Structure 1
């Protein structure tokens, strides 16, 4: 008699046609590894996956991240990064985290991209603190063909110091030199493709507050192009706001999405735990 083996199916509902899906499987099913390939495929399609009140422990979140692509270590070597403006928790990273209030892609200064990220809610803010996402796959898909042709091979200089100017527009020289000295080569800059080509063949846009200038364009034309593409990418068809409840986890495709935190009380103790998925190449 032939044994019938039933595989666990991924259960989800779409949040919007062009961004977001809500995963309905149990924690045990997610941690089994049986759904990993289906999750990766849905992530590339939806850009953002929500796991309502899944209540991952740090160990479970690391295991889940490993199952969907491999857990990469953070810049300081830790596997779980605590996102908080509490200086007792994150004294070295508070200024850096202020940049998260503006549209960005994580890890643009890294030698290898962050393929995706998982955030778990541990402490809710007293007010505000929702997280916004934009699907840059579907935003790219809907661009006019003439725009796609124009930007196909463009390269963009990304810099840490450019992102810091969003929340600190009048830095001291010492602050500026510190930001400029960050990064693998000590310049705080990296040249990346404007159009990111995924192994699957899909394309997305790499934008955000680290995007300083387009190589070969004047500062005027560069700003118009980058800001115009961002305005398109974050517009309603591609935009999702996640209102956190305790224990939620949200996973997003970092090379195919933009995200930002909405303002909140910096003294409220809001806490999210992040794990990141290994990427392959910036191209």
Structure 2
């Protein structure tokens, strides 16, 4: 009788963020490592599975091993059915591709929600010849390394977030119709420092951050930009250069991310699934 062995090799991608796990499909899909994967994701923010080459169906199955599959409006299957979501600038594949242009700037997914998604899982199906890497930063580590005096100063602050603010990064002169459409999504007031139920704290920043409550416009903007600069220093960041078949999962509650520029006609295609949120901003 043949003996089946599984591969499970774990190494750090960078000092304060990211883990690389070399394994096989059977090990991932069995769910036997799900608890360990979740623990590594919370501790390290990002996990890379190099050239694991999961199919759409396998990625959906893997997502289910880790938690509750997220069915977000406008992203995927109908009537609550599981589906992967195409992340591409090709409008023949994704009719709302222009909305994704905000992804080229540092952000956290779900700042317009009370309870953001726990994690995203993304697989590379087609690559651009140049560019298209994904940057991640660890917002837990960035908070931890702040001077204690600054932690005390920012811990009680709240920030108004708005989707339209992020859209202005890529389209700074929209028509009034476009602006009103974006603004119809409303705004959401969140803590600048997320006090997680685990006891850990992370910074809540990114392109949707509009205004620190209680501060003037200039003072607010300076604080948000200064903290973003702090959180995206090299020691807190990992840049993933994609290979075909790579799958990356990241903790949306403790990282920011952004895509790097590439030719939008290159055919670059990522397939994404998400885990439903388990903890509200607090």
TM-score by length of 1: 0.92
2:104 is matched with which residue: 101, 117, 122?
Answer: 101
Q: Distance in 2 between matches of 1:71 and 1:51?
A: 19
Is 2:84 aligned against 1:80?
yes
Query: Does 247-256 or 70-79 show the bigger shift?
Result: 70-79
1:10 and 1:135 map into 2 onto residues whose CA distance is 24
Q: Which residue in the other structure is 1:232 paired with?
A: 230
CA change 1:167–1:57 in 2 (3 A) is same
Deviates more, 1:39-48 or 1:61-70: 61-70
Matched, 1:125 2:128: yes
User: May I ask how many residue pairs the two structures share in their alignment?
Assistant: 270
SS in 1 for 2:228: helix
- Whether the 8 Å contact between 1:12 and 1:22 is mirrored in structure 2 is yes
For residues 98-154 of structure 1, the C-alpha deviation after alignment (integer angstroms, 9 at most, x for no partner) is 111111111212342111111100111121101111011111110111111111121
| Correspondences of 1:46-61 after superposition (within 5 Å) | 46-61=44-59
Q: Partner residue of 2:165? A: 162
Find out whether 1:223 has 2:221 as its counterpart.
yes
Distance 1:49 1:209, change over 3 A: same
Which whole-Å deviations, capped at 9, do the CAs of 1:154-203 have from their partners, x for residues lacking one?
11111110000001111111111010012xxxx2x111111112222111
Question: 2:149 maps to which residue?
Answer: 146
- What are the residue-to-residue correspondences of 1:3-82 with 2, within 5 Å? 11-76=9-74, 78=76, 79-82=83-86
Unaligned runs of 5+ in 2: 1-5, 77-82
Alignment partners' CA distance in 1, 2:23 and 2:198: 25
Structure 1: distance between partners of 2:74 and 2:269: 18
> Partners of 1:197 and 1:40 in 2: how far apart?
19
Q: Contact 2:161 / 2:211 at 8 angstroms: preserved in 1?
A: yes
How many Å separate the matches in 2 of 1:223 and 1:144? Answer: 20
C-alpha root-mean-square deviation of aligned residues, in Å? 1.4
Q: Per the alignment, in what secondary structure is the counterpart of residue 16 of structure 1?
A: coil
State whether residues 160 and 210 of structure 1, in contact with CA within 8 Å, keep that contact through their aligned partners in structure 2.
Answer: yes
Q: Gaps (5+ residues) in structure 1?
A: 1-7
Other-structure match for 1:244: 242
Determine the C-alpha separation between the residues in 2 that align with 1:18 and 1:174.
Answer: 43
| Cα displacement (A) at 1:96 | 1.1
C-alpha contact (below 8 Å) 1:74/1:80 kept by paired residues:
no
Is the Cα–Cα contact under 8 Å of residues 7 and 24 in structure 2 kept in the other structure? no
